[in-house]
Amino acid sequence: MGLRRVVAALGLALPLAGPASATADETPLRWTELGPGVWEATAGATERLTLLGAAAEPPRTEALRSISAAPFPFGPDEAAARIAGGKVALRFPLALEEEIYGLGVDFKSLRRTGSAVRLHVDHWGGVPGRTHAPVPLYISSRGYGVLVDSARYVDFYVGTAVRLQARQKPPVVDRTTGGKAWSAQPRSDSVEALVPAPGVRVLVFGGPTPLDAVRRYNLWSGGGALPPKWGLGFMTRTPTSYSAADALAEVAEFRRRGIPLDMLGLEPGWHDHAYPCSFEWDRGRFPDPAGFLAGLKASHVRANLWFNPYVSPTAPLHARLLPYAGSHLVWNGIVPDYSLEEARTVFAEHLLRKVVSLSPSVGGFKVDEVDGYDRWLWPDLAVFPSGHDAEQLRQTYGLLVQRLLFDMFRRANRRTLGQVRGTNAGASPFPFVIYNDNYAFDEYIAAVANSAFAGVLWSPEVRSGDAQDMLRRVQAVCFSPLALFNGWATSSKLWTHAAVADDIRAAIQLRLRLLPYWYTAFAQYHYAGTPVVRAMPLVSGFELRPSRESGRLAEVLDQYMVGDALLVAPIAPGAKGRTVALPAGKWFDFYTGRLVGEGHTVVELTPPLSQMPLLVRDGSLVPLVGGRQWAPSPDEVLPLEVRHYGLGPATMELYDDDGETFDYQRGEHSWTRLEVTRDGEGRWRGTVRPDPNGKAWRYRDVAWRFMTPP
């Protein structure tokens, strides 16, 4: 630098070129097509443990072929990698008007453009990137997705840092005189990512639409989860110190009050030691586990059992898992290294023997604390017997526990639906719904919507509150992937507030009546990768764009679609009404069939307290069954009501299977075509076209209801 110092001391200008070291060592990523519209590139020496590798479900390559072909979204040299200091820096192109979504389930925002996040499995605590589902996948408004398949804390910079060597730079504006022309965040032409690993694999998912990119990601991850039918019913969780008798009495109370119930959650008290856990029944509260579970079965209710996966030194299981323990404890319990197949086998075998094999009424588990605060879980300097480090275990722990539970139930040919508090990329096929302790209504709704960009399912919480609060939360949770009341730490019940008890019951009954609709939405998730819940930027015809100037219309976080027909617009506790931003076309009221508004407008809705706004897309069908208290069993055949909404003709492919086993994977399922067209005299006419492969559905006596007045 001697010359430079002399030149500088003389005040001379050097040529206007950036330092050679800045980007000269970048190498363009080279892409290989792995499947239809799915491309792979690697940089450096990839690691043994990745997110998709931890989830380990095979891609659904065949299903990918049914999506319209999409070209590779970048130019040949537009994406590049640089390896230095044991880390990989990645760069992807970003166009000026492009918006980026995803990069983990955030509670405050769908958009990621303009943000810098470090993805890290954690409780949501307001720090972007630290979330229960820090999935390193982003979805572009231009219709493609990028997954950085690393089990590391990956940093993403989404249009934030302009490179010295960028071809297009934002305007240079003086802040003192520039007024609004000056920007605190000049927009860059790149999405950049830093992977703290010697190498990494990147996947690109083509479109052509953003929804198609999501579908490709979900299908490449193995297709979306298909829960059992009973998993689409209602769940209640019992107070932690409840005994078997208490729990059965609670079920009886639901039945007595006519509130549907399919799942009963047992909290820490089923263990004889919890936090850390023993995975042994407490013989005081549960003297006869098999008898208790038989009682649930007789009531058509499945048990869901809480645990955190840290094993108490008081438990017989402790000695068997100790050889696989990491160097640090969580609540005094060992942290088994579930990246080791042996550890997964020991744990699954124990759960099978002590719990799952006791009765078919064991429906699943609630996997707690795999997301916890850094001050609760193992430190990043912990070591594990597999040789994977603490960071990798942190990023995959929830995935690995889901995998072992899913595998265990699948081997028994019993479907499961569970809850989990921490997950990551590759989780699409796992039938687990994320939850947490946050209780902010608006953030819950935003998270439900945002989960669409992450290949995960999310449910809000209902615990306690005043009458209106409870009702509004129940209405919202019944239009989320898992409808539940979480009574583990409260004396509140769904019937605590008499004034709203009927409305609460009605909201849950509607959930059950819509079971055919929900089940088909999940089948679309499983077979086609289409998310059940769709954030507005994934909805065709939704064109409200962020306005950088006014801040108005900036994001629509508080509404989303469920399936192809229903636009869900929860009303927050305390609010009298709300606005709804309508996508293209006409939208109709679910309850009355009347026109609510036209696309690209914002309508104001003030429904009665008993109703949450539900809008139906023009030319849609919504199938319902009659009112009932639990999901149908495989041998039940039910009358079907099909509602038609709007002014246009409609078709729907209604899915069905036995609802309980994995036999659907061997072809035991049906897609029945429902169709409404006008007859020669202009009257609506509904037709049912059975599955072309001759597979049966479990409905009969189709009643068509044409909801929209002519």
Gap between the Cα atoms of 422 and 416, Å rounded: 18
Cβ neighbors of 262 (< 8 A, separation 6 or more) are: 230, 231, 232, 233, 234, 235, 300, 301, 302, 630, 631
Q: Which of 66, 68, 168, 332 binds a second copy (CB under 8 A)?
A: 332
Is residue 17 near a second copy by the rule CB under 8 A?
A: yes
Smallest gap from Cβ 251 to a second copy, in A, equals: 21
The site map against a second copy for 97-126 (x = CB under 8 A) is -----------------xxx---------x
Q: Which of 69, 95, 127, 703 binds a second copy (CB under 8 A)?
A: 127
DSSP per-residue codes, 215-284: HHHHHHTT------GGGGSEEEE--TT--HHHHHHHHHHHHHHT----EEEE-GGGBSSTTTB--SB-TT
- Please report, for residues 255, 533, 568, 668, the alpha-carbon distance to residue 625 in angstroms, rounded to integers and kept in the order given: 19, 21, 20, 22
Q: How far is CA 103 from the centre of its chain?
A: 12
- Please report, for residues 105, 127, 185, 582, the alpha-carbon distance to residue 110 in angstroms, rounded to integers and kept in the order given: 8, 14, 18, 18
Q: How far is CA 614 from the centre of its chain?
A: 21
Gap between the Cα atoms of 54 and 427, Å rounded: 9
* Smaller CB separation from a second copy, 341 or 466: 341
Is residue 310 near a second copy by the rule CB under 8 A?
A: no
Place of tokens 């537009």: 78
Gap between the Cα atoms of 463 and 621, Å rounded: 33
Is residue 375 near a second copy by the rule CB under 8 A?
A: yes
Q: In this chain, which stretch among 99-107, 333-341, 430-438, 669-677 interacts with a second copy, using CB under 8 A?
A: 333-341
Smallest gap from Cβ 295 to a second copy, in A, equals: 21
Size of residue set near a second copy by CB under 8 A: 101
Is residue 67 near a second copy by the rule CB under 8 A?
A: no
Q: In this chain, which stretch among 8-16, 522-530, 606-614, 643-651 interacts with a second copy, using CB under 8 A?
A: 8-16
> For the chain, first and last CA: distance in Å?
82
Is residue 639 near a second copy by the rule CB under 8 A?
A: no
* Smaller CB separation from a second copy, 11 or 682: 11
Q: How many CB atoms lie within 10 A of CB 431?
A: 26
Q: Which of 379, 574, 627, 634 binds a second copy (CB under 8 A)?
A: 379
DSSP state of 530: -
* Smaller CB separation from a second copy, 380 or 598: 380
Q: With CA atoms as reference, report the closest residue to 591 among 611, 617, 565.
A: 611
Smallest gap from Cβ 460 to a second copy, in A, equals: 24
Q: In this chain, which stretch among 384-392, 524-532, 559-567, 595-603 interacts with a second copy, using CB under 8 A?
A: 384-392
Give the phi and the psi of residue 34 in degrees, each rounded to 5.
-90, -30
Is residue 706 near a second copy by the rule CB under 8 A?
A: no
Q: Which of 30, 257, 297, 320 binds a second copy (CB under 8 A)?
A: 320
Q: Which of 30, 108, 163, 628 binds a second copy (CB under 8 A)?
A: 163
Is residue 685 near a second copy by the rule CB under 8 A?
A: no
Q: With CA atoms as reference, report the closest residue to 335 among 288, 379, 281.
A: 379
CB 584 within 8 A of CB 599: yes
CB 403 within 8 A of CB 427: no
Q: Where are the beta strands (DSSP E) in 389-535?
A: 418-420, 432-434, 457-458, 483-486, 533-535
- Which residues, numbered 238-277, are part of the site for a second copy (CB under 8 A)? 240-241, 268-269, 271-276
Is residue 319 near a second copy by the rule CB under 8 A?
A: yes
* Smaller CB separation from a second copy, 22 or 703: 22
> CA neighbours within 13 Å on the CB side: how many for 414?
18
For residues 60, 66, 68, 73, the Cα torsion angle rounded to the nearest 10 degrees is 10
- Which residues, numbered 164-193, are part of the site for a second copy (CB under 8 A)? 164-165, 169-172, 174-177, 182, 184-186, 192-193
Q: In this chain, which stretch among 6-14, 102-110, 513-521, 540-548 interacts with a second copy, using CB under 8 A?
A: 6-14
- Please report, for residues 542, 592, 616, the alpha-carbon distance to residue 585 in angstroms, rounded to integers and kept in the order given: 10, 18, 11
Smallest gap from Cβ 145 to a second copy, in A, equals: 21
Is residue 492 near a second copy by the rule CB under 8 A?
A: no
Smallest gap from Cβ 276 to a second copy, in A, equals: 8
Is residue 325 near a second copy by the rule CB under 8 A?
A: yes
- Please report, for residues 257, 259, 445, 571, 590, the alpha-carbon distance to residue 506 in angstroms, rounded to integers and kept in the order given: 11, 8, 21, 16, 15
Q: Which of 134, 309, 326, 398 binds a second copy (CB under 8 A)?
A: 326
Q: Which of 46, 314, 438, 464 binds a second copy (CB under 8 A)?
A: 314
Q: Which of 70, 79, 89, 500 binds a second copy (CB under 8 A)?
A: 89
The site map against a second copy for 401-440 (x = CB under 8 A) is ----------------------------------------
Gap between the Cα atoms of 580 and 564, Å rounded: 17
Is residue 638 near a second copy by the rule CB under 8 A?
A: no
Gap between the Cα atoms of 558 and 561, Å rounded: 11
Strands 190-195 and 155-158: antiparallel
Gap between the Cα atoms of 100 and 93, Å rounded: 11
DSSP per-residue codes, 45-87: S--S--HHHHH-PPP-HHHHTTSPP---SS-TTSSEEEEETTE
Q: How many CB atoms lie within 10 A of CB 252?
A: 12
Is residue 573 near a second copy by the rule CB under 8 A?
A: no
Q: In this chain, which stretch among 380-388, 422-430, 615-623, 701-709 interacts with a second copy, using CB under 8 A?
A: 380-388
Smallest gap from Cβ 102 to a second copy, in A, equals: 17
Place of tokens 């068997």: 320
Smallest gap from Cβ 384 to a second copy, in A, equals: 8
Smallest gap from Cβ 508 to a second copy, in A, equals: 29
Smallest gap from Cβ 242 to a second copy, in A, equals: 10
* Smaller CB separation from a second copy, 375 or 666: 375
Q: Which of 57, 99, 149, 155 binds a second copy (CB under 8 A)?
A: 155
Gap between the Cα atoms of 188 and 157, Å rounded: 10
Is residue 28 near a second copy by the rule CB under 8 A?
A: no
Q: In this chain, which stretch among 311-319, 462-470, 588-596, 687-695 interacts with a second copy, using CB under 8 A?
A: 311-319
* Smaller CB separation from a second copy, 195 or 456: 195
Gap between the Cα atoms of 404 and 455, Å rounded: 19
Is residue 48 near a second copy by the rule CB under 8 A?
A: no
* Smaller CB separation from a second copy, 385 or 573: 385
Q: In this chain, which stretch among 27-35, 252-260, 324-332, 605-613 interacts with a second copy, using CB under 8 A?
A: 324-332
Q: Which of 85, 179, 608, 694 binds a second copy (CB under 8 A)?
A: 85
Cβ neighbors of 38 (< 8 A, separation 6 or more) are: 59, 64, 203, 204, 205, 206, 216, 220
Gap between the Cα atoms of 142 and 412, Å rounded: 43
* Smaller CB separation from a second copy, 277 or 478: 277
* Smaller CB separation from a second copy, 345 or 601: 345
Is residue 606 near a second copy by the rule CB under 8 A?
A: no
Is residue 160 near a second copy by the rule CB under 8 A?
A: yes
Smallest gap from Cβ 199 to a second copy, in A, equals: 14
Is residue 528 near a second copy by the rule CB under 8 A?
A: no
* Smaller CB separation from a second copy, 392 or 520: 392
Burial of 125 per CB tally in 10 Å (0-12, 13-18, 19+): exposed
Is residue 93 near a second copy by the rule CB under 8 A?
A: no
CB 487 within 8 A of CB 247: no
